[in-house]
Structure 1
Amino acid sequence: MPETATTEKTAEKAGDAKPLEDQQFVTRHSVTIGGERIDYTAKAGRMVLHDGEEQATPKVALFYTAYLRDGVESRRDRPLVFLWNGGPGSSAIWLHMFSLGPRRVVFEGDPLFDTSRWELRENEHSLLDVADLVFLDPPSTGFSRVAPGEDVEQFHGVEADAAVVGDFVVEFVNRERRGDSPIVLLGESYGTLRTPAVTDYLQGLPGFYVDGVVLVSSLMDVAGASFGVGTALGAIGMLPSYAATALYHGVVAGELEPLVAEAEDFALNDYSVALLKGSRLTDSEQDRIAKRMAELTGLSPDLVRGSNLRVTLWRYVKALLRDRRRTVGRLDTRWTGIDSDIVGETFENDPSMTMIWGPATRAFNRYVREDLGFEADPGLAYRMMIPFPKWKPRETEQNGIWSPQLETATQLRTSMNRAPHLKVLLQSGYYDLGTPYFPAEMTFDHLYLEPERARNVTTKRYESGHMIYLHEPSLARMKADLTVYLATLRNAQ
């Protein structure tokens, strides 16, 4: 990937060659939520962060959009929520345009079948009635850029990313005089790896303790979606979502919650033992496991056994509906796609991603300029997503044992042990194979939290995929669950 890296670095320096300056464009708006008309102030801008010594050299300008409710007598009981998406390499456009902001893209029909007709409307499910919101684009994404002459790769790693995002949080809170508000970090996808790292970073030298962590479509430990030799967590964790997907498409029969409960029980018991045994399994054991997997997932026993009982998500999305000449999505398996042939090993694109790119991009670029008044320099394009050919992982050490896997779950455990008041909300979709719900929940099982800390973790599931909010009933539930969760933070102040 060196060619990609060169192209990205050149584009970065050429696209923002002027010295970085703070920018902020302030506009005022209203939105109706729960029948109440709410006035709010929007602040769209770029905040310049400097080096860590004398704070003299500009390093990076981070683009953000903040929504602050007007007429609030005291901010002490009003949470301030920072939101970011994942990738790494993704802007916050998905959370911003589809979920909790005061405006969202609404499709005329069911987005599972048609995303061509849409409009930007007031968002009745916005979180703005109960919290102020700050959507953040990490370095190199959105309108965020590093300073001229700076190496973009200095920010492309777990720890460096957490530091720059954490510094932004502290600076924004200080500039807005929100130090007495409950502070919440909400991440989606890779954002759920970022959020624990930021939480841990803030508790370090900044000495800044946040009050809440929200993990949307979480993967704090990438082993939960891995199929490599020596790990069984991916195969175990995917199985319940395979079952949910097969049920949704009518390949197997039953009810959602009982079926996934059966799949979870099988995954944790017979299936996990079978995977541990590997080639020590007898033929009759392999046949029994393959038959049960086929019953749960809708695949053929021959395919399951031919895959050594480890059906990767790439094989599953291609194989499940092969007889219908369709694929299913990775981020949301309710979506179906069409490939140029039916015999390939995996799909040619993820329909649950590609079908929503266009509306998100077109809506945001109009909205940020016309409604929010943001004036970008000529040539400064909004980067919805950008591939990072290199991303430096975090080197983890637990009890003196070094682990090369990418995980930040242990950082969250450390942060929870330091801060007894810190509360965590985990929100997952049944039809998500990018960050499947079962490994996300099992990650907490493996943190061995003490009972008083474990009580601070709340888990919610939704009949949706990776972007939970694309299913409007799930968005409504997601908002309701967040409202209840945030109320517990206010009560703790």
Structure 2
Amino acid sequence: MPETVTTESTAGKAAGDAKPLEDQQFVTRHSVTIGGERIDYTAKVGRMVLHDGEEQTKPKVALFYTAYLRDGVESRRDRPLVFLWNGGPGSSTIWLHMYGLGPRRIVFEGDPLFDTSRWQFQENAHSLLDVADLVFVDPPSTGFSRVAPGEDVEQFHGVEADAAVVGDFVVEFINRERRGDSPIVLLGDSYGTLRTPAVTDYLQGLPGLYVDGVVLISSLMDVAGASFGVGTALGAVGLLPSYAATGLYHGVVSGDLEPLIAAAEDFAVNEYSVALLKGSRLTDGEQDRIAKRMAELTGLSPDLIRGSNLRVTSWRYRKALLRDRRRTIGRLDTRWTGIDSDIVGETFENDPSMTMTWGPATRAFNRYVREDLGFEADPGLAYRNLIPFPNWKPRQSEQNGIWSPQLETATQLRASMNRAPHLKVLLQSGYYDLGTPYFSAEMTFDHLHLEPEQARNVTMKRYEAGHMIYFDEPSLARMKADLVAYLATLRSAQ
């Protein structure tokens, strides 16, 4: 039964793609038990219209959001307000919402790595709502967010334009809710970790809003961390420890996780990276030695490694590791296994760690947002979980006066930390993630060359999980505990 007590609306039916955009908000009241405490809260769901033009009168885009605000709080000044988004680019925030930190979540009856068909949608004992208010935001063209009629949708499909419109939403929401004195935290997942530094940088510009915290879940602030282009070594080096963890999980590598990870990291940085830098200058003996050690760590054959010029892409690794079992492994979570009709090829048919999570989230959200949260949408307005944006525009990246186009926002985070010494960052990563490898994410920080006092503001946590750390409950519980500890370090608690 829904827990709704009252429903309020600032508008009528939601606008479709071809109808004029209008602000709308639906307000309901609920309660949830977290840590043994019964918490009353208000949910606000709707679409906020952002405007363009000098007088801010031309509707530009309507962003869909779901906000959860705890009731009975004495002072909002001491209560963090957290804005959350997933990535893609082109993804809604359904994953963080339905599997992660909202007040209700999908709970599986068995092990979700093997069966996602049996689940319930119930109270989330690991929600962050006990210590922070939450605002889940869908970027333009995702979820129920839509651009205004006559507007070019691709104007928002790029690092800088995306950051600007999401940043404008953050400012407008804070103003409408009178939360300017609250600690403000931006939490991004996957591509959302590219978006979050860009939004942080944007907000410090003309809006003049200096946020207090940045949380990066499954981070890839620099896409070089998962790339295998000519002359690029960060992807190969960063993926190697995750290959080792995966090999151990599937029983093709022996040992214990922590010592194996440490050995893989040491080899990756001190020997493997040098071998990659040498390229064709390696002797046959050096290639054999490197390939043999990689085979011991990853479970692949030395011949395959040598034939790949010591650079085994994640796509090849996923297909090759369990070939003798006629199985592939997941990209976003390598603990998952899939079945392909062709076991000898190089291309996998699907990523089971993605496709197996879609069904429950879609079914649960579409019922929940309408029945429990009272959102009224035009029948033609469909919720878009994930749509491709093939022409996503990178930003022009500046490094020591040299401009180069690449998809990275790590330098924007560094710049934001330079301007705001109080800004604190939390990095949360899973071992079994080949989409945003944990070691690449950590090495990205190594190359920001932060001063010691800045480095002390960065906290890194690892989990025995995949890309969606929050997907299985034990990892979510540890992730929540680390988030609570992190939030306690922000300015309100000092």
Q: Normalising by the residue count of structure 2, what TM-score does the alignment of the two structures yield?
A: 0.96
Letter in 2 for 1:448: H
1:301 aligns with 302
Equivalent runs, 1:222-261 vs 2, <5 Å: 222-261=223-262
- How far apart in 2 are the matches of 1:431 and 1:483? 24
Equivalent residue for 1:82? 83
Specify the alignment match of 1:447 in structure 2.
448
Equivalent-residue separation in structure 2 for 1:420 and 1:411 (angstroms):
14
Measure, in 1, the Cα distance between the counterparts of 2:258 and 2:189. 24
- Matching of residue 149 in structure 1 with residue 150 in structure 2: yes
- In structure 1, distance between residues paired with 2:250 and 2:474: 19
Q: Contact between 1:192 and 1:216, CA under 8 Å: does it hold in 2? A: yes
* 1:489 partner amino acid: L
CA contact (8 A) 1:76 1:182 kept: yes
Give distance in 2, aligned partners of 1:399 and 1:299.
40
Query: In 2, are the aligned partners of 1:317 and 1:346 still within 8 Å (CA)?
Result: no
Q: Which runs of 5+ in 2 are unaligned?
A: 1-14
Tell me what 1:263 maps to. 264
Q: Which residue of 2 aligns with 1:8?
A: none
Does the 8 Å CA contact 1:246/1:298 hold for their aligned counterparts? yes
Partner residue of 1:22? 23
Q: Which residue number corresponds to residue 391 of structure 1? A: 392
> Structure 1: which 5+ runs fail to align?
1-13
In structure 1, how many angstroms separate the alpha carbons of the residues matched to 2:237 and 2:472? Answer: 26
Amino acid at match of 1:361: T
Q: Paired residue for 2:7?
A: none
**1:9 matched to which residue of 2?**
none
SS at match of 1:309: coil
- Correspondences of 1:117-156 after superposition (within 5 Å): 117-156=118-157
| Aligned residue number for residue 167 of structure 1 | 168
Contact 1:138–1:165 (CA under 8 A) maintained in structure 2: yes
Instruction: Tell me the distance in 1 between the aligned counterparts of 2:194 and 2:363.
Output: 28
- Rounded Cα–Cα distance in structure 2 between residues aligned with 1:356 and 1:470: 9
User: Following TM superposition, by how much is the alpha carbon of 1:15 offset from its aligned partner in structure 2, in angstroms?
Assistant: 4.5
Which 4+ residue blocks in structure 1 deviate beyond 6 angstroms? none
Q: Is the 8 A contact 2:183 2:492 kept in 1?
A: no
Please give the residue correspondences for 1:291-370 in structure 2 after superposition, counting only pairs within 5 Å: 291-370=292-371
- 1:490: Cα distance to partner? 4.5
> Alignment partner of 1:292: what SS?
helix
Q: How does 1:39-78 map to 2 (within 5 A)?
A: 39-78=40-79
Structure 1 position 426 matched with structure 2 position 400: no
Residue matched to 1:3: none
- Aligned pairs for 1:397-476 (under 5 A) are 397-476=398-477
Q: Which secondary structure state, in structure 2, belongs to the residue aligned with residue 488 of structure 1?
A: coil
- Shift in Å, 1:377: 1.5
- The 2-side partners of 1:407 and 1:468 are apart by 22
The separation in 2 between residues aligned to 1:72 and 1:161, in whole angstroms, is 33
Which residue in the other structure is 1:203 paired with?
Answer: 204
Which region of structure 1 is more displaced relative to structure 2, 128-137 or 398-407?
Answer: 398-407
C-alpha contact (below 8 Å) 1:78/1:490 kept by paired residues: no
Q: 2: distance between equivalents of 1:464 and 1:29?
A: 31
The structural deviation recorded for 1:491 is: 4.1
Structure 1 residue 402, shift from structure 2 partner: 1.2
The alpha carbon displacement at 1:425 in A equals 0.1
Match of 1:4 in 2: none
Q: 1:235 Cα deviation (Å)? A: 0.6
Total equivalences in the alignment: 480
1:362-405 alpha-carbon deviations (Å, 9 max, x no partner): 10000000000000122000001111121111011222101222
CA distance in 2, matches of 1:199, 1:389: 25
Question: Residue 33 of structure 2 aligns with which residue?
Answer: 32
1:291 deviates by: 0.2
SS of equivalent to 2:395: coil
Preserved CA contact (<8 Å) 1:217 1:436: yes
Contact 1:421 1:492 in 2 (8 A): no
* Secondary structure of 1:370 counterpart: helix
The letter for the 2-side match of 1:202 is: L
Checking the alignment, whether the CA contact within 8 Å between 1:79 and 1:490 is kept in structure 2 is no
* 1:201-246 deviation line (CA, Å, top 9, x unaligned): 0000000000000000000000000001110111100000000000
8 Å CA contact retained: 2:47, 2:64: yes
Q: Deviation per CA, 1:20-54, whole angstroms, max 9, x where unpaired?
A: 11000000001000000000000000000001521
Aligned equivalent of 1:214: 215
What is the root-mean-square deviation of aligned Cα atoms in Å?
0.9
Question: Residue 7 of structure 1 corresponds to which residue in structure 2?
Answer: none
Q: In 1, are the aligned partners of 2:212 and 2:491 still within 8 Å (CA)?
A: no
Q: How does 1:1-12 map to 2 (within 5 A)?
A: none
Give the whole-Å Cα distance in 1 for the aligned partners of 2:156 and 2:388.
Answer: 14
TM-score, normalization by structure 1: 0.96
CA distance in 1, matches of 2:316, 2:447: 28
Taking the aligned partners of 2:289 and 2:349, their CA distance within structure 1 comes to 33
Q: Provide the C-alpha distance between the structure 2 equivalents of 1:319 and 1:366, rounded to a whole number of angstroms.
A: 40
- 8 A contact 1:112–1:334 mirrored in 2: yes
State the partner residue of 1:185: 186
SS at match of 1:465: coil
Q: Is the Cα contact below 8 Å between 1:25 and 1:44 reproduced in 2?
A: yes
1:290 and 1:198 map into 2 onto residues whose CA distance is 42
2:167–2:203: 8 Å Cα contact kept in structure 1? yes
Q: CA deviation at 1:346?
A: 2.7
How far the C-alpha of 1:410 sits from its partner, in A, is 0.4
